[in-house]
Chains A and B, each alone.
Chain A
C-alpha cells in the first residue's frame, strides 16, 4: 500500500470533518464570573508592577548620583591643578586649624613651666 496515497486520503478525510460550532449556554456569564474572581489578584499584580517600576526609578537615581559624584571629584582635581584627591572640606579649615595650632603651643609652654618648677617629677 502506498504510504503517500494513504497520507493524502487521510488528510482529505480530516478535511471533511465538520467542526461543531455550538456554544454552551451562559458561557459568557461564566467567563465574566471567572474574571470577577481574578480581579483582586490583578490588583496585586498591578502593585507588583508598580514596585518593579519604583525599583527601576531607584536604580536610575543611584546612577545619576554616581555621575554627579564623579563630576564633583573631577572638578576638585581641576581646581587644584594636582592629581591628588583631597576632600574639599579638609583643605581649608581656617580658624579651626589656628585654634589647634595655638593649643599645641599652649600645652608646650605649660609643660616647660611645669618642668622648670619640678612639678612633674
Chain B
C-alpha cells in the first residue's frame, strides 16, 4: 500500500500556516517565526543598537502578530503585514528611546572629529567607507526625530519608493514626501551644528 508522502514545510504557504494557527495549532506559528525572523532582525537592527533590545523587540512583534493574526485578511503577503508591524514597533521604540536619551553631538570621538577635518580639507578624497564615517552617521541619525530617521532609513539606505514607505508605515504618500523633505532639512541642520561646533 502506498503511504502518503509528508508535506514539506517549505512548500506550505504562509496563508495555510496562518489558517492552521487560527484553527488552534499554535505550534505551527514556529514555522512562521523561522521563516521571517532573519528579515525582522535585519529591520530592527537598523534602528536599535543593543542586541538585547533587538531580540526583545522582535519577540514583541511576533507575539503581537500572533495575537492579531485575525486582522491579517490575506490581501497583502503575510511578510508585508509582519514588516509593517515591526516598522511601527521600531518607531514606538525610537520615540521611547528619544525621551530617555541625553547624548549630544558634542561627544564626538577623536576619529570622528579627524574624519570631519579631513572632509573639510578635501571632501572628494575622504573615505566614506571608514568606520569613523559610519559611526558619525549613526550618531547623526540618533539626533533626528524618530519619524525623520525612519523615513531617511527607508528612502536613502533601503532604497524604498514613496509608495512602499507609505504601505510599510501607514502614512499617506504626501506625508511620506513631506517627512522626507523635512528629514533631509533636519539632517542638514544637524550637520550645520556639527560644523559650527567643530570649526568655531
CA distance A28 to B51 in the complex (A): 16
B88-104 vs A, CB cutoff 8 Å, 1 = contact: the mask equals 00000000000000000
Give the dominant DSSP class at A's interface.
helix
Complex contact A38–B63 (CB within 8 A): yes
User: Does A14 lie within 8 Å of B137, measured CB to CB?
Assistant: yes
CB-CB nearest in chain A for B39: A21
Chain B at the A interface: SS class: helix
Judge if B123 is at the interface, Cβ distance under 8 Å.
Answer: yes
Total count of chain B residues near the partner, CB < 8 A: 43
Q: How many residues of A contact B (CB 8 A)?
A: 35
Cβ contact within 8 Å between B119 and A1: yes
Contacts known (A4-B188, A13-B136, A13-B137); A32 close to B119, Cβ less than 8 A: no
Determine if A36 and B30 form an interchain contact, defined as CB atoms under 8 angstroms apart: no
Contact A21 B38 (CB under 8 A): yes
**Taking the nearest CB of chain B, how far is it from the CB of A119, in angstroms?**
85
Binds A, one of B11-19, B78-86, B127-135, B170-178: B127-135
- Complex CA–CA separation, A23 to B192 (angstroms): 38
Q: Whole-angstrom distance from the CB of B66 to the nearest CB of chain A?
A: 5
The distance in angstroms between the C-alpha atoms of A95 and B62, with both chains bound, is: 76
Within 8 A of A (CB), among B129-179: 129-130, 133-134, 136-138, 140-141, 156-157
Least CB distance from B96 to A in Å reads 20
A2-B123, A3-B188 in contact; A13/B30 too (CB < 8 A)? Answer: no
Given contacts A1-B120, A11-B156, A30-B59, contact A39 B38 (CB under 8 A): no
Measured between C-beta atoms, what is the minimum distance from A72 to chain B in Å? 41
Judged by a CB distance under 8 angstroms, whether A104 is at the interface is no
Q: Is B34 located at the chain interface by the 8 A CB criterion? A: yes
User: 25 A-B contacts, Cβ less than 8 Å apart?
Assistant: A1-B119, A1-B199, A3-B192, A4-B188, A7-B191, A9-B128, A10-B128, A10-B140, A11-B156, A13-B134, A14-B138, A19-B42, A19-B45, A19-B46, A22-B41, A23-B38, A27-B37, A30-B59, A31-B63, A32-B26, A32-B30, A35-B29, A36-B26, A39-B26, A45-B67
Top 7 nearest A-B pairs by Cβ distance?
Answer: A13-B133, A13-B128, A12-B128, A10-B137, A14-B137, A28-B33, A1-B120
Binding site for A on B (CB under 8 A): 26-27, 29-30, 33-34, 37-38, 41-42, 45-46, 51, 55, 58-59, 62-63, 66-67, 119-120, 123, 126, 128-130, 133-134, 136-138, 140-141, 156-157, 184, 187-188, 191-192, 195, 199
